[in-house]
Structure 1
Amino acid sequence: MKRSTILVVVARFLIPLIMLFALYVQFHGEYSPGGGFQAGVLFAAAWILFVFIYGLETGLRVIPTRVIYALASLGVLLYAFIGLLGVVMGGRFLDFYPLLESPHAAQQAGIILVEFGVGITVATVVMLIFLMFAQRRAMTDAAERNE
């Protein structure tokens, strides 16, 4: 596909805005609708838009595949760690009250960390799904050219 100047200019403007909105949704999700899942999808959408405009190779130079896998694991581990920390400190799984002295502060800190883990996991899993489809498409296109 020939790269369009208009698409490049619009993408340079939109991608940072999408990521900024994703941060807003991520950290404002405790007080209003939104949170980790929605923010993760927005982050992944920004990366996918980048890949559509600049190509898969450039997208993988920005965020390599092994980093995507590592972040997916890190997000799940963060969620599990915060959940189990409540158990270790005498509460139940995902019980944030034992984490800090103030129950309100503990609830806020716990949900922010858990939602951050969810956001990282969702973003990277959506990116991996897209990456698998894109790589499969590249393989089938290469096979068709060789026939």
Structure 2
Amino acid sequence: MLNKEQLADLAEQFPTLKENGSDTYEEFNSLFEQLDSEKHAETSRWKKRIGSVTGTYQVQGIAVHGADEIVHTIRVEEEVAFSNWINSSLSQDTDLKPHLPVNPEGGDLYQKVSDGLIICKLINLAAPETIDERGINKKISIPTQNSKI
């Protein structure tokens, strides 16, 4: 959404918009190219800032609809902290014996939470009885696990 200053700048750059309430094709095309260029410049600056963060690694993939590439930047210290917190908070849960402990390094966290059991347990830890324990699928079969791929 454009603010008032941005609209005023556009009105100065494209006088027919202000006078006629519409733009010529050439003005519209020029505006589009300018905005597209600004967008790409900002995206490049943002990517450089993200890429320069220390203590991180990136995981890349393709969006489900296939049109966009997705890049996740993961902070190692957060991965370690979450893994340690899960290990200490859920260590007594007998349903999670096959999942725990979570190795704080090497992406083990993402493998262990992939079947949803740890996530369900964390939700119930934060807000008891949010998820009915009887409805949690605690033993994932191979066909069920493969259907998530």
Per residue, is there more strand in 1 or in 2? 2
The normalised TM-score by structure 2 is 0.24
Q: Of the two, which has the highest radius of gyration?
A: 2
- Greater helix content: 1
TM-score, length of structure 1 as denominator length: 0.25
